[in-house]
């Protein structure tokens, strides 16, 4: 069985379940993992004999000073670190190296330059938007995509974004996040609910690009007609205190619940109990953008209609009038109006609910996406060998 070595700086942060699903779901490849640190190992079980954690360099602080402050360059691993990584990759008899996130690939450029096997890099959202105004970073990213055998993007919008770094179109492959539909089954909702208690849900990191204040402003308008409604926000992040203050300032704090981070079973129950998934994503001031939000796909799979924005890869999963409703970024009034249309018309709600579940089945089923990923690994290996043979013959 061929071996794919996947590099992820942290194995894994809580919001990276989609990465774990890809790694753990491979069927035709043996998976090994390389990382700089491990977190939440209880949530992401993996054979410890197939994980290599890089030793932390003693000169880490000096490296940051040397690269960023003195040379004005993006931070990269030392040649000695690259050689150590390469020796471990060879030990595992690696056939293809998969680097998750473009900014990590910039850090690993010294390794990429010396790899005697194909390297593929996947982009997920923020890694194609952040730091692109910094010329050294952009140049390093351009070298990454020139040296990569294949480049993966989670959405068509990210494929378009790759043109910022002049990524050759012929090496780009669409690689969507896959949803295990057996775990997120269709759930008919009773509408209208008793006592007009509509439950809105947003599940995400509490950060700027998720547009949570816009969701709150829209929800406040819904409360004018349906005062028993609730808005539950599942997730953790640095904006928690600011968002709680926003809810208080809007006068809706009693109808909003911050649920914190939830494990899959808890989140699934919350999704099943909800009626509307709201996710008004927006471009962050730093250029951070979405691919296709994983929590949104899980919610859609259960038949939860979505209120969201024309942002990133969201329009590739949500169609107005089919599985939900999309408005422009920051349009709280538009979101509120779309919500009222769903809440006031049970037949429309049920139509959108069925369309939502169908959309995920057709384009985001996990087994199909993993099969596509493995086919790309094989393609990368064949491309690399063909080039090597052609070079030797010349």
Residue 204 shares a structural domain with residue 247: yes
pLDDT for the residue numbered 296: 95
User: In terms of domains, do 120 and 53 share one?
Assistant: yes
Task: Indicate if 341 and 387 belong to the same structural domain.
Answer: no
Q: Of 136, 146, 294, which Cα lies nearest the Cα of 210?
A: 294
3-state helix, strand, coil in the chain (%, to 5): 50, 15, 35
3-state secondary structure at position 305: coil
- Cα separation, 16 vs 100, in Å, equals 11
In a domain, 82, yes or no: yes
Residues 142 and 279 in one domain: no
Identify the pLDDT of residue 233: 98
Average pLDDT, consecutive stretches of 10 residues, N- to C-terminus, the chain (394 residues): 96 92 96 95 92 79 61 82 95 97 94 97 83 84 96 93 92 94 94 94 95 98 97 96 98 98 95 97 83 92 96 93 95 97 95 91 92 98 94 84
Question: Is 43 within a domain?
Answer: yes
* The pLDDT of residue 359: 85
Structurally, how many domains does the chain consist of?
2
The answer to whether residues 356 and 375 belong to one domain is: no
Cβ atoms of 263 and 298 closer than 8 Å: no
Joined tokens for residue 307 = 């209120």
Question: Phi-psi region for residue 211, left (φ > 0), alpha (ψ -120 to 50) or beta?
Answer: left
- Say if 185 falls within a structural domain: no
Residues 6+ apart with CB under 8 A from 202: 210, 212, 215, 231, 232, 233, 234, 235, 277, 278, 279
The CATH number for 277's domain is 3.40.50.2000
| Same structural domain, 140 and 81 | yes
Residues 278 and 354 in one domain: yes
Residue 167 lies in a domain: yes
Residue 310 is assigned to a structural domain of this protein = yes
Together in a domain, 164 and 278:
no
Q: Where are the beta strands (DSSP E) in the chain?
A: 3-7, 10-11, 30-35, 37-38, 51-53, 96-100, 119-123, 150-153, 172-174, 199-203, 230-234, 256-260, 276-279, 306-309, 324-327
Whether 230 maps to a domain, the answer reads yes
Is 187 part of a structural domain of the chain? Answer: no
pLDDT at position 375: 98
For 87, half-sphere exposure in the C-beta direction (CA atoms, 13 angstrom radius) is: 7
Task: Give exposure, 305-340, as e/b (b: 16+ Cβ within 10 Å).
Answer: bbbbbebbbbbbbbbeeebbbbbeebbbebbbebbb
Q: What is the pLDDT of residue 34?
A: 97
Q: What DSSP string describes 71-121?
A: S-------HHHHHHHHHHHHHTT-SEEEEESHHHHHHTHHHHHH-SS-EEE
pLDDT of amino acid 132: 76
**pTM of this structure:** 0.90
| Euclidean distance between CA atoms 100 and 121, whole angstroms | 6
pLDDT at 139: 93
Residue 238 shares a structural domain with residue 150: no
pLDDT of residue 2: 97
Domain of 223?
Answer: 194-363
Same domain, 134 and 198: no
226 shares its domain with 294? yes
Q: At what angle do helices 294-301 and 264-273 cross, to 10 degrees?
A: 50
What pLDDT shows up at residue 287?
A: 75
Q: Are residues 161 and 269 in the same domain?
A: no
Domain-embedded: residue 186: no
Q: Give the chain's largest Cα–Cα span.
A: 77
256: left (phi over 0), alpha (psi -120 to 50) or beta: beta
Reading the block at residue 61, the tokens are: 């602080």
Q: What is the pLDDT of residue 232?
A: 98
């Amino acid at each position: 069985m061929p071996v794919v070595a996947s590099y992820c700086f942290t194995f894994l942060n809580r919001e990276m379940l989609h990465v774990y699903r890809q790694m753990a779901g491979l069927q035709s490849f043996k998976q090994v993992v390389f990382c700089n640190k491990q977190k939440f190992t209880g949530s992401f079980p993996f054979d410890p004999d197939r994980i290599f954690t890089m030793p932390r360099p003693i000169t880490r602080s000096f490296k940051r000073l040397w690269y960023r402050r003195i040379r004005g360059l993006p931070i990269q691993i030392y040649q000695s670190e690259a050689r150590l990584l390469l020796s471990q990759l060879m030990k595992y008899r690696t056939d293809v190296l998969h680097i998750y996130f473009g900014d990590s690939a910039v850090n690993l450029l010294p390794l990429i330059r010396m790899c005697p096997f194909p390297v593929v890099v996947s982009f997920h959202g923020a890694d194609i938007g952040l730091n692109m105004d910094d010329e050294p970073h952009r140049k390093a990213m351009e070298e990454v995509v020139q040296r990569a055998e294949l480049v993966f993007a989670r959405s068509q919008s990210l494929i378009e974004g790759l043109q910022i770094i002049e990524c050759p179109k012929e090496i780009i492959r669409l690689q969507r996040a896959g949803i295990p539909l057996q775990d997120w089954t269709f759930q008919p909702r009773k509408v209208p609910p008793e006592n007009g208690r509509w439950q809105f849900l947003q599940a995400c990191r509490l950060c700027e690009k998720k547009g949570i204040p816009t969701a709150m402003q829209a929800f406040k308008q819904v409360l004018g007609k349906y005062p028993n409604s609730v808005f539950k926000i599942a997730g953790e992040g640095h904006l928690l205190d600011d968002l709680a203050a926003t809810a208080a300032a809007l006068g809706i704090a009693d109808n909003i619940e911050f649920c914190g981070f939830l494990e899959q079973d808890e989140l699934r129950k919350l999704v099943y109990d909800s009626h509307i998934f709201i996710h008004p994503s927006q471009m962050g001031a730093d250029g951070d953008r979405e691919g296709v939000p994983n929590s949104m796909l899980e919610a859609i799979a259960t038949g939860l209609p979505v209120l969201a924005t024309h942002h990133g890869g969201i329009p590739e999963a949500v169609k107005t009038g089919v599985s939900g409703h999309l408005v422009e970024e920051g349009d709280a009034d538009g979101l509120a109006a779309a919500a009222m249309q769903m809440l006031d018309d049970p037949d429309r709600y049920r139509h959108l609910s069925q369309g939502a579940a169908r959309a995920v089945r057709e384009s985001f089923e996990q087994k199909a996406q993993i099969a596509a990923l493995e086919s790309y690994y094989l393609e990368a290996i064949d491309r690399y060998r063909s080039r090597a043979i052609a070079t030797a013959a010349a």
